[in-house]
Structure 1
């Protein structure tokens, strides 16, 4: 028996070596090429070069790429991103040709991709291709390196030691391009590279327009970050050498692998893993908040993130005002700011205002090394100079003078994110009247210094008195105890969460709310639900906000209001709406949220005139965002939360059409080990409620899964479940129509006609299958949200469990819900009624 095992083992090794890979890391002309059955490995076996199919699906096109050998789904470079090989082509090959170029050939031996280096010189001298231990594929002619994959545009990954660079003379640069999706290597909308102007900063571009910009660094800047949990230090550096400006990084622990990935939705993610692990961790990513988006606040406008929330404020720099007050009140800051008072050049009218902790603006001009006074004088002597900065990195690197001319763009206050992790001083040219006591940014008068001391002390005592008075009012009702500290005039709480249940929220007076909404003017009304109306308003602390006023006639009373107040204040996630403040004066119960200008998903999805804004990539982004938000509620938040009212009208959309889950009035907190609860007070919205909840009053995480499944199928089909009608009468419900189409092998007929021709058919079918899995009749047949996210993100790599006929296939009447509880008719009405009292059976 042992002999037979040895023979089988030897035969297996022989088969593996001959058919699955080549041990050599060198590729030479005339030697066996790389084929679907032969792979090139790096010297240490850490990386492989070969053919792969995204999602390991036989129906997917094939690509030539480089990947980590333990994780064949972790691809770092792809040769033929723009020219995928058809799935039926089983005989492509990759070789080093006789002219010294690397070539990818299809089954008919047409050249699909090549290094395209002039072959005249290469043909006379031997050339070899090496797959290095760092994942870089290089072409060498003798001791000269003539090409490398690290400089090619085939990757979405920045590897350790790899330079992100630009040549200041030729303006050539290596660009990292995102994939179209997580499992589609074709070039996506986003690219990442150094500033082509030669400034030491990098950009993310979205379709050639700036989307994100790093801080402005100086030559020789180096920063180390220690990650204690994984036990390694990563060193980042910017440098300028031989006409090149570049950024690169190194990891000091050989047992740790690290990479930077530009994701399909425009984020740079730092991914780290131990070599024996199959899981990548993401310690940070950018952009992380709205202030990171390029020029968010326009020219001379500065963005500031509020506490730990996802909300931000745009403010004009001191001495400037909005160009269009109306646009700023409507949340559109792109028009920027202008000077309050013009100054006369070379007179006493213009001074420099010192702004601290700033992300320096774009379009800087370096004037070289000089003293601070000389740098200031250089800017002052030029009437076009708007601002200057003085960079003093270290003793090894002399100070550098920077000037800015024209508008100041992409400013951020209190800048501290990721590898940037610092803000610096910026000196902005303003009219002297904008400075305190007419002093410049460099000094202050004695009177001003006295004022700086006296004013805070006086203010402190005044605040103490007001806090004492307001504290007594703050605890006068059952709701007010939540407000640990009220706002004084226009001041704000600095920490959104304190302790376990003590929540700091900015509390507003009723008069402030009345002023913000123009006395609840109907022209400011955004919509209305079972709780009451929502208005658009303007508050100086936040800009445009959404103000939710609980109707006195609403069945959602103080309990629901308090529930929402406690829940949202403790939840922080990019796919959840941010709660900014509250008002409980004169029996009013009012919540203030971040304003999302695109409003709710149903306004687009069910409106035939608006749904063209929802192409397939946007819908896929919305589906994934909603799933991530629910997963956070169920598993990763401080509380285990069951939403209980997921529907299209409760999904709000930001400027970039990313979704945020709203309306937590019906939500319930579960214990960490709790799986199910029962109630005689059934709440929710017709069309989204699972059968066990309607019939027995039972709710759990699987209730939200059911609602998500309905919502997913609505997004794919563009039809509302509660108002579905199909002329063939094959089914009375949207769920039934999805089931019939899937069961009969024509799932694409279920897809919204607005996207049917342009969508990714494989991904749409996967979404339909996941939706049907979520709306299974028996809760235990439904997946958890963790599994939902995994199924949606892995395409066909993870099989779908066997599907059964979903709930409510025959008719909505199966739910035994009276039609009196139907939503108000009109497929995209602003009024959607929530069931708030249904006796369970």
Structure 2
């Protein structure tokens, strides 16, 4: 059976009511009326255009279809996506055998419609639906009688328009599917595909190769139940839209709905398949439930516990959960105190139901009884558009929504559902809970008071130049919430590092040295050892413990454990084999190994880590020392933000804070922080802007000297921007030609991030949209901070004064927080 989602799929998301102006120009290609690069044709209604184009950051030429009369967001269909033309000599025409073909300047075939039967009198026409059709028309028939030989809607690329069809042949498993571009500058077939699977209950799946990446939840005849936004935004499956829109499968696997906002004359995103990590398939493993509004986002269903407690505590939830109590299956299981008591069902509302459900009835009243009678049934649900559905085996990809969703009933042993209803037990429980609450409140109040006393004492010592006592630090360290982190013994770490020998030393900071170690199980680790003589590192050490214990993200370095014995204080991290970004980006021998794709991946990863710190974690954290040496690289050169010794946690209503103690690295510090001690999310954005320019240029902002002028790297970028020669900033060891548009965009974003006033800088979420071209038209930056100064030293401590030079190269300024 072939399942056709005829026009319905896109209808779930959009309806066109966009009015376009009619434009003069042909919509037909014949053997004598062909398209020669850079020519094009336009559909009769003027909505679509087809012609030759080059993707952003590439000089290759392709034939594509896009919206006419609006700035291009993306190309909707590409003909020769596997075989680009390397110059502007391409031609699209009808060949002698009636096929629609694309040829290069040497008349070599680079793409064909591949209609097997040779025909004459063929023509291609671009329709107002966006469909390109190849027609066979006899001389004595009308245009309406033309035979359709081939159409682009049957050969989709990464975009889905209103009248397209997604189909799957359940017998042969042949699919009409969307396939992503390899990258924003390369339209060849990428890793991700989107298709319908109608074998049980129709669902839309996104695949990363052969691995399931995202699923829509079941189709109930009206909506996809796993897309909660459809409950409130869409009526009868049709979006209440008055704009031009379509669906796009991006190269990173996200399915988005771009739309043209006529009022602001710009493109935006009205919907995205991935709004949080919960939208990634199977994030919490079998019998785990994902809730993006909680931290951590994963938890086990009631009646279940983590299968692997150690991995679960580290934020690796893929192993999922297992039952605490075996099911009785109608009381037939022996050997437990609950034998003879029937299983029951746990009611979970507003849920994304698991994958691989099996339909078994159209009547709601049949659901609980039929599931109870089947010992293999572990859950059931009812939807009026689908009927009764049950699940066997593991429940995977459960998600808790805020709106929409379905009510799911999960089968549990009777012992897990029993309720203690006796009044005496309720009173006793209430008294115990009340007592515990009082004790906890008192404990937190004392802890807060002691912590404040420790902080004031340390500030007093620091302001007087004295190092705080190690005893005081040890007492404070004992109160840190370690959660499930391993507490190592000094003997273990000494053995792992060869007694902290110099050969295993990775580097040194203000806190002390960092060593590479290897545990008996073969795991490599990095050990940050607090120097006994360090006055700077002790407060940072404590701060890092308290901050990093509370956050987990793939772009943040992972803390594995700690050691606190006597006057020895150490933090143990996952080992990063490629060390820090500065050892690559500023090394003439290593930087040649960082092409632009790798550098852009690093930029994007840093952004994702900052977004988590600023917005997505349960705490709002300002890093305050973002720089190249604090970006670590794993074996695949993926970035991880490290060193949270200077980070600050913000309360829910805080947007900025002040400090008397300005810490960080000059050259990366925002002006309001360096001069006045004020910091906020925009302080980190400023540091990121500097870092972005360093990654593009391969040069440090500090210790930078340009043609004997008083210019930092930021000053040079601003100078080249005004001269409209920003590509002169690009690292000469990196080929810029294929990526000129993307490089120029990143330099523009870097300058926007480093503007003088914090309110002029974009948020990190906006930065992500900017660098990924989701915001097409970037604003012009205002003059950045410090563009007339040259920083003469590169130091990691604000405790030393830094020299800057004025226009007459005479004035010296000491930067100090007020």
TM-score, scaled relative to structure 1: 0.63
SS at match of 1:54: coil
The aligned residue for residue 41 of structure 1 is 42
2:280 is matched with 293
1:812 match: secondary structure: coil
Q: Secondary structure at the match of 1:214?
A: strand
Where does residue 606 of structure 1 map in the other structure? 583
Which residue is equivalent to 2:239? Answer: 251
Could you tell me how far 1:205 is from its partner in structure 2?
A: 1.9
Q: 1:281 to 1:518 in 2, by over 3 A?
A: same
Deviation for aligned residue 1:116: 1.3
Q: Residue 712 of structure 1: SS of its match in structure 2?
A: helix
Aligned residue for 1:266? Answer: 253
**Which residue is 1:354 aligned to?**
345
- Which has the larger displacement, 449-458 or 57-66? 449-458
Q: Is the 8 A contact 2:181 2:250 kept in 1?
A: yes
Q: Give the match for residue 105 of structure 2.
A: 107
Distance 1:294 1:685, change over 3 A: same
Q: 1:222 & 1:301 partners in 2: Cα distance?
A: 22
Deviations along 1:476-511, one digit per CA (max 9) or x if unpaired, are 5767999xxxxxxxxxxxxxxxxxxxxxxxxx9967
Partner residue of 1:233?
234
- Give the secondary structure class of the aligned counterpart of 1:116: coil
CA distance in 2 between partners of 1:205 and 1:840 (Å)? 52
Shift of 1:204: 1.9
1:466 corresponds to 2:466: no
Deviation of the 1:685 alpha carbon: 1.8
Matching residue of 2:600: 620
CA distance in 2 between counterparts of 1:219 and 1:21 reads 39
CA deviation profile, 1:534-592 (whole Å, cap 9, x unmatched): 9xxxxxxxxxxx9x9999987699999999999x99xx999997999xxxxxxxxxxx9
Change in Cα spacing, 1:360 to 1:530, as seen in structure 2 (3 Å) is: farther
2:156 is aligned to 153
* TM alignment of 1:88-103, pairs within 5 A: 88-89=87-88, 91-97=89-95, 99-103=97-101
Alpha-carbon offset, residue 784 of structure 1: 4.0
From the superposition, tell whether residues 40 and 264 of structure 1 become closer, same or farther in structure 2 (CA, over 3 Å).
Answer: same
Give the alignment partner of residue 212 of structure 2, picking from 191, 210, 213: 210
Does 1:70 pair with 2:57?
Answer: no
Q: CA deviation at 1:84?
A: 2.0
Question: Which residue in 2 is equivalent to 1:424?
Answer: 408
TM-superposed CA distance for 1:623, in Å, is 1.5
Q: Which residue of 1 aligns with 2:30?
A: 29
The alignment partner of 2:371 has SS state of helix
- Answering whether residue 740 of structure 2 is matched by residue 762 of structure 1, we say yes
Q: Is the 8 A contact 1:389 1:403 kept in 2?
A: yes
The whole-number CA distance in structure 1 between the counterparts of 2:796 and 2:278 is 49
What's the counterpart of residue 82 of structure 2?
Answer: 82
CA–CA distance in 1 between the matches of 2:441 and 2:662? 37
SS at match of 2:72: strand
Indicate how the Cα distance of structure 1 residues 77 and 610 shifts in structure 2: closer, same or farther if over 3 A, else same: same
Pairwise CA distance, 1:180: 3.3
Match of 1:393 among 383, 387, 396: 383
Match of 1:61 in 2: 61
- The equivalent of 1:318 in structure 2 is 303
The alpha carbon displacement at 1:731 in A equals: 13
SS at structure 1 position matched to 2:81: coil
Q: Label 1:760 to 1:203 Cα distance change in 2 as closer, same or farther (>3 A).
A: farther
| CA apart distance, 1:115 | 1.8
| Secondary structure of 1:354's aligned partner | strand
Q: Secondary structure at the match of 1:163?
A: coil
Could you say what secondary structure the match of 1:174 adopts?
Answer: coil
Identify the residue that residue 826 of structure 1 maps to in structure 2.
none
Distance in 2 between residues matched to 1:235 and 1:31, nearest whole Å: 47
Which is further off, 757-766 or 157-166?
Answer: 757-766
What secondary structure, in the 3-state scheme, does the structure 2 residue paired with 1:619 have?
helix
Counting only pairs closer than 5 Å after superposition, residues 680-719 of structure 1 correspond to structure 2 as 681-686=661-666, 688-689=668-669, 707-716=687-696
| Separation of aligned partners in 1, 2:647 and 2:347 | 44
Aligned partner of 1:280 in structure 2 is 267
Deviation at 1:290, TM superposition (A): 2.4
Give 1:119's aligned residue. Answer: 117
Q: Residue 52 of structure 1 aligns with which residue?
A: 53
Partner of 1:304: 290
Q: Deviation string for 1:72-111 (max 9, x for gaps)?
A: 344222222222222x32x423234454432222223322
Aligned to 1:192: 194
C-alpha deviation, 1:266, in angstroms:
1.9
Looking at structure 2, the residues matched to 696 and 807 of structure 1 have their Cα atoms a distance apart, in angstroms, of 19
Cα offset for 1:132?
Answer: 3.2
Is the 1:232–1:256 Cα contact (8 Å) retained in structure 2?
Answer: no
Other-structure match for 1:588:
none
Q: Distance in 1 between matches of 2:234 and 2:625?
A: 45
Partner of 1:174: 176
Q: Do the aligned residues in 1 keep the contact of 2:752 with 2:782 (CA within 8 Å)?
A: no
Residue 392 of structure 2: aligned partner: 404
The question of whether the paired residues in 1 share the 8 Å contact of 2:580 and 2:632 is answered with no
Tell me the C-alpha RMSD between the 2 structures.
6.6
Structure with the larger RCO, 1 or 2 (CA within 8 Å, 6+ apart): 2
- Counterpart CA distance in 2 for 1:730 and 1:368 is 79
Tell me if the contact between 1:600 and 1:649 (Cα under 8 Å) persists in the aligned partners: no
Aligned 8 A contact 1:772 1:803 in 2: no
Contact 2:658 2:679 in 1 (8 A): yes
Q: Is the 8 A contact 1:650 1:663 kept in 2?
A: no
* Change over 3 Å in CA distance of 1:108–1:460 after alignment to 2: farther
- Residues 215-226 of structure 1 aligned to structure 2 (within 5 Å): 215-217=217-219
Tell me, yes or no, if the aligned pair for 1:85 and 1:106 is still in contact at 8 Å: yes
Cα gap change, 1:599 to 1:150, in 2 (>3 Å):
farther
TM-score (norm 2): 0.64
1:646 aligned partner: 626
- Say whether the 8 Å CA contact 1:689–1:707 is kept in structure 2: yes
Query: Partners of 1:436 and 1:638 in 2: how far apart?
Result: 35
CA contact (8 A) 1:200 1:216 kept: yes
Cα deviations by residue, 1:329-366 (Å, 9 ceiling, x for unpaired): 44444445566677899953597563543544444455
The corresponding residue for 1:134 is 129
Q: Where does residue 481 of structure 2 map in the other structure?
A: 513
Contact 1:642 1:701 survives alignment (8 Å): yes
Change (3 A) 1:630 1:461: same
Structure 1 residues not aligned, in runs of 5+: 1-19, 237-249, 429-434, 483-507, 535-545, 581-591, 823-836
Kept in 1, the 8 Å contact 2:314–2:484? The answer is no
Q: Distance in 1 between matches of 2:574 and 2:544?
A: 26
Unaligned 5+ segments in structure 2 are 1-21, 137-144, 453-475, 497-505, 515-525, 560-570, 803-813
Contact kept? 2:257, 2:272, Cα under 8 Å: yes
